[in-house]
Amino acid sequence: MRQKIVFLISIILILYPYYFYADNDPTLTPPNPGEKVLLIYVGNGANPCSTYSTQMKDAVKNALLSITPAPQIDELVIPCGNRNGFYDELVSQYGVTNLRNWCEVWDLRFLDLRNNLAFDGTIWEDVLTYIGPAGQTDWDLFIDFLNNGGHLYLQGEHHDYYCRNTNLMMFINYVANSPIGQSRANVRNGAWTVNQFSSTPENFSTDFTTLSGNMNANYCGGISLTQIGSGRPLVTTDLGASSDPAAPGGMSAVVMGYLPADLKTNGRMVVGWETNMYTEPTLKNTVSDNMLKNIYDLLSKCYNYSVTKSFNPGTLCVGNAGQMQICYQNSGAGVTSVDIWDTIPSCLNVTNISFTGGTPSSSGGPINVSGGKLYWWRFTPFNSGANGCIVINFTATQLPPCP
């Protein structure tokens, strides 16, 4: 009489995406469906905070909600007096410990009350925190977000806002392949018009709105093009001479962008150095609204795919046959290629592998690794809407632990 032995199956699944974020839509249309966006800002209320950060949030929100299809916009308000970064509010307001639920995060916590005031030892509400429990500082949360393919907008200003800009530049230089070569942003005193928009990368000046005409800046900030490091100038102007040796002036990027190739992380990043042109009612206009829309488009095209694994039957005896399915679905942006890896325990003898929904462009295995046999399948391209399953038939050869 054959002894009945139940084989309990455990699995290991590793998904390894190749990170490509090209916005290669030839129709120059907005993302469809709209992306999921989080706006972080300091709420008005108790002194000494003003309403300026809220006005910035409203300006961005209104511009983005005028897009069809509109993005899904969530807000993370940091109350005046909360100077520990945004981790605690993220947990309290959304019940999550990271930013991975969103495609784009816009950090609009800039305050207008620290003009020409040097660091006094106080970490204000708009400063990017980097000291604190691991995984809970602003830096940790933003780096994790970028590493997982999220796209980040950071708001700075001209060089008189020392505390906010100092930590902002420190963060930029930490994640950029090449750092900014100046320690303070340039400034153009008084009113100024900005009307130079770059066509690169990815048709920025025309995708998906056409940027032409003047934006009305006031004490406009920027980074000199000769000091921009691995950043890319998106909106530029001549800020003239500077009396500050740390801010060389001249032709400068008022808005600068980073693609994944420009960063040590996987996501995209845009940094702006002027707020008045899209915030103040007497200054903002269609051009500044359209600029915000094109930044949203540049930061779009996020991944949204899943991989699941199932067995039939869930238990089986040694000598019996079974089947596993590794199923994938891409409901977000298409990517150049994706590799799916799986280590199949040596207690299972693979008899056949087939595919539903799509055939991989290349595959490999079995490769002897710790824990069993490694198989991999590459899907090129991995288009938006792609879905299917890898079907693996096998027999159970012995009881675990497997050699």
- Token representation of residue 78: 């940091």
- Reported as half-sphere exposure (CB side, CA atoms, 13 A), residue 280 has a value of 13
Of 330, 333, 378, nearest in space to 355 by CA: 378
369-386 per-position pLDDT tens digit: 887 889 999 988 888 788
27-37 per-position pLDDT tens digit: 588 988 899 99
- 218 phi and psi angles, rounded to 5 deg: -145, 120
Give the least confident one: 40-54, 136-150, 331-345, 358-372: 331-345
pLDDT of residue 74: 98
**Percentage of residues in the chain with pLDDT exceeding 70?**
91
Say if residues 275 and 222 touch (Cβ distance below 8 Å): no
Q: Out of 3.30.720, 3.30.43, 3.40.1350, 3.40.50, which CATH number does the structure's domain 36-298 have?
A: 3.40.50
Going by the DSSP 8-state scheme, the letter that residue 116 receives in this structure is T
> pLDDT-based confidence at 161, cuts 50/70/90?
confident
> In the predicted model, is pLDDT for residue 118 greater than 80?
no
**Hey, is 43 helix, strand or coil?**
coil
CATH 2.60.40 residue spans of the chain: 6-17+303-396
| Residue length of the chain | 403
6-17+303-396 in CATH: which number?
2.60.40
State how far the Cα of 184 lies from the Cα of 158, in Å rounded to an integer: 8
State how far the Cα of 47 lies from the Cα of 38, in Å rounded to an integer: 25
CA 210, 215, 216: angle at the middle one, nearest 5? 165
> In the predicted model, is pLDDT for residue 101 greater than 50?
yes
State how far the Cα of 170 lies from the Cα of 157, in Å rounded to an integer: 14
pLDDT of residue 53: 92
> In the predicted model, is pLDDT for residue 2 greater than 70?
no
pLDDT of residue 23: 45
- Report how far apart, in Å, the C-alpha atoms of 278 and of each of 72, 251, 262 are: 21, 21, 27
CATH 3.40.50 residue spans of the chain: 36-298
> In the predicted model, is pLDDT for residue 119 greater than 80?
no
> In the predicted model, is pLDDT for residue 288 greater than 90?
yes
The enclosing H or E element of 321 equals: strand 321-330
Bridge partners, residue 349, by sequence: 395
- Token representation of residue 286: 């269609």
State how far the Cα of 6 lies from the Cα of 102, in Å rounded to an integer: 43
